[in-house]
Amino acid sequence: MPAQQGYFDTLKSVAGKIFSYLASITLTGTDGKTITVTQDTSLDEAVAMSSKAPKASPSFTAGIGIGGVAAGTGGVAFPATAVAVADANTLDDYEEGTFNFGVSFGGGTTGIAFSIQAGFYTKSGNMVHFNGYIVLTSKGSSTGAALITGLPFTSRNVAFQHGGVTIGFIEGITFANIISGDILATASAIRLGETTEAGVYTALTNADFADGSQIIIQGSYRTA
């Protein structure tokens, strides 16, 4: 019986393919008698051609949660603490936020006061992009090399992998020809310096600042 069942299944399949081209089939036996088999079109499925048309790009009615984070109403949600993935082609973190830039001189902050400390950042994977604006109302009494402090993440611990900083606007700061900023390895601060036309670099210090000094900066760097 299983063999016969398989035979009939095959015959049914073949007949179905034939019926896709013919409305009926007439079979003639050796005795001259005939039998006509017709397709029951009432069993056919009527399918509108529009249903076969290419579909539009899919849209999500809810967000996507990563690493166990609940999906929101839209976008892709990442956990507050990144779960690092070693694969170089996998995005494992995304974050946006604000932070307060600061200033120190020789590592000290005695008497330094601000009227504006506005910092904004976007972290995508291990790259941090930031921009901000600082206005000092008092430069205080600390002395030494000037640093802009308070970056939201510590830079990667790799020698010579400096983060680039662009100084967009300054006021109340003295410098020779070119002012620059960079972020060293394992740091969350920006080193400020000046370079003369002769190519001589020196660090900016408290002596180059004044009460009311202003600076706009932006840049990017790699985190650990």
DSSP string of 40-75, one letter each residue: -GGGSPP--GGGGSPPPPP--SS-EE-TTPPP-SSS
pLDDT band for position 59 (50/70/90)? Answer: low
Span 126-132, average pLDDT: 96
Percentage of the chain modeled with pLDDT above 90: 52
pLDDT of residue 8: 47
Q: Which residue has the tokens 């000290």?
A: 108
Per-residue pLDDT at 57 exceeds 80: no
Per-residue pLDDT at 64 exceeds 90: no
pLDDT of residue 196: 92
Q: Which of 116, 184, 99 is nearest to 145 (CA)?
A: 184
Helix (H) or strand (E) holding 81: none
Tens of pLDDT, residue by residue over 186-214, are 999 999 999 999 999 999 999 999 999 99
Q: Is the distance from CB of 23 to CB of 39 less than 8 angstroms?
A: yes
Q: Please give the residue that has the higher pLDDT: either 88 or 137.
A: 137
Span 146-151, average pLDDT: 96
pLDDT of residue 45: 60
pLDDT of residue 70: 81
Domain limits, the chain: 2-52, 94-222
State the pTM of this model. 0.69
pLDDT band for position 15 (50/70/90)? Answer: low
pLDDT of residue 159: 83
Span 92-108, average pLDDT: 95
Q: Please give the mean pLDDT across all residues of the chain.
A: 84
Per-residue pLDDT at 115 exceeds 70: yes
Name all contacts of 160-168 with Cβ < 8 Å and 24+ positions apart.
Answer: 160/185, 161/185, 161/222, 162/221, 163/219, 163/220, 163/221, 163/222, 164/219, 164/220, 164/221, 165/190, 165/217, 165/218, 165/219, 166/217, 166/218, 166/219, 167/215, 167/216, 167/217, 168/216, 168/217, 168/218
d(CA 76, CA 78): 7
- Range in 20-24, 62-66, 162-166 with the lowest mean pLDDT: 20-24
pLDDT band for position 53 (50/70/90)? Answer: low
- Range in 18-22, 50-54, 121-125, 190-194 with the lowest mean pLDDT: 18-22
Span 47-69, average pLDDT: 68
Q: Please give the residue that has the higher pLDDT: either 191 or 37.
A: 191
